[in-house]
């Protein structure tokens, strides 16, 4: 299991578009990816409505956890995704 924390810079947070892109990116990996709003709920990164339901806003911190498969590659892919999209 590997994880990182990320502070959301998109002022609207994880709304429909980035949530959809996140689900697509996470489905492409061979690891199980979980997103947790620090101090809030957590969700599988592949479940669109659950990801949107986290209610992550700009300025919130999320913890992203990857488990199984090629964890190093999955971690890097997710870090890159968050930097580029959120």
* Residues lying near another protein in the complex (CB under 8 A): 12, 15-17, 20-21, 23-24, 47-49, 52-53
**Segment (H or E) for 64:** strand 61-67
- Catalytic position from the list 1, 9, 12, 15: 15
Closest separation between CB of residue 57 and another protein, Å? 8
Closest separation between CB of residue 13 and another protein, Å? 9
Distance CA 69, CA 57 (A): 30
Q: Which is nearer to another protein, 25 or 71 (CB)?
A: 25
Determine whether 4 is an active site residue: no
Distance CA 30, CA 84 (A): 21
| Structure tokens belonging to residue 41 | 């709920």
Residues annotated catalytic, as ranges: 15
């Amino acid at each position: 299991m590997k994880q990182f924390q990320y502070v959301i810079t998109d002022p609207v947070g994880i709304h429909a578009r980035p949530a959809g892109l996140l689900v697509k990116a996470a489905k492409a990996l061979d690891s199980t990816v979980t997103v947790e709003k620090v101090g809030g709920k957590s969700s599988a990164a592949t479940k669109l409505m659950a990801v949107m339901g986290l209610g992550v806003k700009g300025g919130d911190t999320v913890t992203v956890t990857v488990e199984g498969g090629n964890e190093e590659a999955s971690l890097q892919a997710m870090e890159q995704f968050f930097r580029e999209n959120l």
